[in-house]
Amino acid sequence: MSEILPNKLYLGSLYDVENINWLLENNITDIISLASDIDFIGLTNLLEKNNINHHIFKIYDDSNENISELFLTLFKIIDSANIICVYCSFGISRSPTVIIAYLMYKHKMFLDDATKFVLKSRNCIFPNDNFLMQLFKFEKELFGLISFTHDKYGIAKYKNMIHSYK
């Protein structure tokens, strides 16, 4: 589990959110699930038994998924929660995409700065190419400027930035 914003926002994997003791010790009040291939019934029962709200979004980590259409809904959940964890299966692509977009939106960070901010806490992030293109477009919508071109060269430059940061 990686703390992104102190006492507010965490980024993790399925393994992390199944650790109920850690969730309780850190006063997690809400969980956002961004996955498609897990037992939501079992996890929801575990979380609800411990008074943790579970927000489920069945998202695939593939080239056809439009995660950006959920950004504003997810941001509202994050803002309304006391202490929240956003996770996907491995905490590498879907959940970092949402966290990066949230930082861009809420904290007015450009894409490169938001990515580096997340990398400080979780160095294994690697949004898929489809999600990167959506982040590129989101940055353009927010700021009218772009950190990366909206093509394969921009994707390559972004990935090089991630690799060089590690």
- Could you give the residue numbers annotated as active site? 88
Which tokens sit at 18?
């199944």
Q: What letter would DSSP give residue 68?
A: G
Q: What strands, in cross-sheet order, belong to the sheet with 9-13?
A: 2-5, 9-13, 84-88, 30-35, 53-58
Q: Which residue in 16, 1, 58 sits closest to 35, CA to CA?
A: 58
How far is residue 115 from each of residues 2, 35, 87, 106, measured CA to CA in Å? 14, 21, 16, 14
- Reduce the DSSP state of residue 32 to 3 states and report it: strand
